Amino acid sequence: MRSWDERYEGDEFVYGKDANDFLIQELDKLRPGRVLFPAEGEGRNAVYAASHDWEVHAFDLSMVGQKKALAFASEMGVEIDYTISDVLAYNSFDKFDCIAISFMHLPSKIRRLAHRNLMSQLKPGGCLIMEVFHKEQMPLKSGGPKDLDLLYDEELLAEDFKDVDVKLLEKTKRVLNEGKLHQGEAIVLRLIAKK
């Protein structure tokens, strides 16, 4: 997608090189296995997981993001499998032990179907880790889409993931420090679910 390619152009990692802290906290509780990172961008989360013994698979629409992620992985001495794909089209032959979503925001017309597609690729007993911007993030300048249709609330995610065991679904206020595009106080939703 052209706009994401433009966003990722240049040497700077616009969301930083450090993995999302909520992802680190939750991933580190799990035994390493196969993990999927949808909409992975420049690869910060994928590279973290690969450096902690996970078999990492990722996808994104951006070829620029993919190129930077693979170069970052090489620089860090790890391997990631990173493909170019749309969230509705992505399909893996083997199921995943974990799917980790960090700030993937989808329009309402495809959101539920996309979430269903991802969950179909999780093994029974597998874990979903998710952090996204809440609708209350809209007026804040710390990051995220400025389109209400791309933001989430508790009811939306509860409905999307009603067929799995939701362990955590909470709105929280936090301070982001993730590159130049995620900076400052933010209102996010966090979800942990088991299939």
Residue by residue, pLDDT tens for the chain (195 residues) are 458 889 999 889 999 999 999 999 999 999 999 999 999 999 999 999 999 999 999 999 999 999 999 999 999 999 999 999 999 999 998 999 999 999 999 999 999 999 999 999 999 999 999 999 999 999 999 999 999 999 999 999 999 999 999 999 999 999 999 999 999 999 999 999 999
Look at residue 1 in the predicted model and tell me its pLDDT.
47
Q: Where are the domains of the chain?
A: 2-194
Tally of CB atoms within 10 A around 51: 14
Contact 5/26 with Cβ under 8 angstroms? no
Look at residue 3 in the predicted model and tell me its pLDDT.
87
H or E element, residue 75: helix 63-76
CA-based max dimension of the chain: 42
Contact 64/8 with Cβ under 8 angstroms? yes
Given this structure, which CATH class describes domain 2-194? alpha beta
Cα gap 183→179, rounded to integer Å = 7
